[in-house]
Structure 1
């Protein structure tokens, strides 16, 4: 066979290693670091960057006047040991940049954009912020400043926006809430507060758009303890990784639980490769290859194909490019602990495992009463989907393997291994299959979409 037309196979351990160590996120972070910093020595720059403790809080805290930003920032820094950074504190630094900025403010002049960016960079590049992280309070104030920070590579992991109700700008729809609103105590005149609020809300929407991917808006019109509890919960909750996720799904369940149908629905919606072990063996048997000739006698005599041969066929199929890039949903294998261990030793390790559960009585009712119309290829069921007429009913064919005696034997074999298989996959999800198929699919789907969050601690 011409080697240039052979199917490309990718070792499964590559994908497992990449997911385990979040290689996509790592490479993305390193490339972004180089593009932003543009160092003279890229390699040494990356080495120095990787030596740092990167799991530190980077938080931007914005909100209208009297929303409790200072209180939240102080408590956050106390809890996370991060550095509380305000622009007034930056201006107190003993540096030429800070002194020049202070002079601009004293003259009521706007600080030049580049000058402002350098001030923030200078403060956040200090050792305490690098090692312990930072909480920027009321920085930035405009979308222009936010974009300026992004250009400088200063991006937060969390953007917290404590909001308050105000008569002029946002009146609550609930009359009950409106009646308990209180005017915040302040030394500033009312007209000055109104101007500050108007200025803030002019930029608020644009700022939210800029940081939409990490934004959390919290109603600050409640006790500080409750507000901070929500803030801390958001900061400490691990964020989902943006790394590509390749599903590797195993479906288990007794005969009649709907494994084939659910696998088909998953494959159709998400473009995943649907692999039924039994159908795969039949396809290999029909292609007149060496492996096909090897398993044909077993299939013709309805004997079980040896696990070693099944595993060779299965690993060859799972190694193909479509399975590696799009993911796969496998059912019909493994059927016992030995097969499950062999599959794992081959580095085909699932990241989602589902057990479709139903009683034997329901399984018998589902399987024994269904027949195939040889003319149309349509399946019918005496209770759930009766044949449309006597003519169709008379020509239905019933599979001998679907007799009650045969089914009882298959059910017994399944339950003999079910507990051991469940022990092999402790993270498996159990779903009742005694429901409408689309309800079962919704339950499966809710546990399929999205990656698991990364572990993150402060």
Structure 2
């Protein structure tokens, strides 16, 4: 089983791809974004703190994310010997913190997508608050408008999928994570993937790089 990091700007589809690969190959998917959103929905102390940053379109501070991620991976690797990590690392500090452990990734997939396509995808994204299923009203619409195919719940739009917030997140992502990509490139772990096209087309490119 492999230790994989999957990166990409907001709207690049990294979470969708990670979920598909996880289900197909039995590699556990760790989504830091999902863990943070779960804490927000449950109104935990961590959730309240994180919500302030997300609502402003800012990245959550490194110390919070590093502790959360390393603890999550440590627990996971007691049972499994691999992972697909989505939403981490987003800064050099986060990357170095993981690289200094015995849990470091073997390969880093970076899904590239331009700003306008990311905005288009995210402003059309919906999620099911009950089962967590993700939809896109253009690329992957539900069978019945605004209702989840799996459980029938009414779909919702994330607050951070507002166009202005998305544009801020996109710009901040590249300012903060360009050094991370350079870091992994120096280590020989980075594989850049074209994120345009259908989910199936992007998946095929990723699997080719992973040798799956």
TM interval, short-chain normalised: 0.7 to 0.9
Structure 2 SS opposite 1:320: helix
**What TM-score comes out, normalization by structure 2 length?**
0.78
Structure with larger Rg: 1
Gaps in structure 1 of 5+ consecutive residues: 1-245, 451-458
Provide the secondary structure at the position in 2 that maps to 1:429.
strand
For the pair 1:438 / 2:193, whether they are aligned, the reply is no
Alignment of 1:299-318 (within 5 A): 299-302=50-53, 305-318=60-73
Secondary structure, in 3 states, of the residue corresponding to 2:110? strand
Are the aligned partners of 1:367 and 1:402 in contact in 2 as well (CA < 8 Å)? yes
Q: 1:298 maps to which residue?
A: 49
Question: How well do the aligned residues superpose, as a CA RMSD in angstroms?
Answer: 3.1
Q: Which residue of 2 aligns with 1:255?
A: 10
Give secondary structure in 2 for the equivalent of 1:430: strand
Q: Which runs of 5+ in 2 are unaligned?
A: 148-153
Match of 1:18 in 2: none
Specify whether residues 268 and 301 from structure 1 end up closer, same or farther in structure 2 by C-alpha distance, changes over 3 A only. same
Q: Pick closer, same or farther for the CA change 1:388–1:344 going to 2, 3 Å.
A: closer
Using the alignment, how far apart are the partners of 1:287 and 1:407 within structure 2? 24
Match runs of 1:91-170 below 5 Å: none
CA deviations 1:97-145 (Å, max 9, x no partner) are xxxxxxxxxxxxxxxxxxxxxxxxxxxxxxxxxxxxxxxxxxxxxxxxx
Indicate if the aligned counterparts of 1:254 and 1:357 stay in contact, CA closer than 8 A. Answer: yes
Q: CA deviation at 1:357?
A: 0.8
Distance 1:388 1:437, change over 3 A: closer
In 2, distance between residues paired with 1:380 and 1:277? 19
Question: What is the rounded CA distance, in whole Å, between the counterparts of 2:42 and 2:131 in structure 1?
Answer: 26
Query: What does the per-residue CA deviation read over 1:391-417, in whole Å, with 9 as the maximum and x for residues that have no partner?
Result: 86xx75432311111110000011113
Task: Verify the 8 A CA contact 1:273 1:323 in the aligned structure 2.
Answer: no
Whether the 8 Å CA contact 2:4–2:85 is kept in 1: the answer is yes
Residues 1:413 and 2:172 are matched in the alignment: yes
Further displaced range: 297-306 or 271-280? 297-306
Contact kept? 1:272, 1:323, Cα under 8 Å: no
1:283-311, Cα deviation, whole Å (9 max, x unpaired): 567899xxx64x23313434554322322
Secondary structure in 2 matching 1:326: coil
Secondary structure in structure 1 of the residue aligned to 2:35: helix
Q: How does 1:37-116 map to 2 (within 5 A)?
A: none
CA distance 1:316–1:439, shift in 2 (3 Å): same
For 2:183 and 2:70, the matched residues in 1 are separated by 19
> Cα distance, 1:386 vs. partner?
4.7
Deviations 1:249-296 (A, max 9, x none): 1111011111111111111122111001122235567899xxx64x23
Matches within 5 A, 1:59-458: 246-283=1-38, 293=45, 295-302=46-53, 305-320=60-75, 322=77, 325-372=80-127, 379-386=134-141, 388=143, 397-426=156-185, 427=188, 428-449=190-211
Question: Does the 8 A contact of 2:2 with 2:106 survive in 1?
Answer: yes
Deviation at 1:326, TM superposition (A): 3.1
**TM-fit CA distance, 1:348:** 2.9
CA–CA separation in structure 1 for the residues paired with 2:167 and 2:183: 25
Cα pair distance change 1:400/1:296, threshold 3 Å: closer
Cα distance, 1:317 vs structure 2: 1.7
State the TM-score, normalizing by the size of structure 1: 0.39
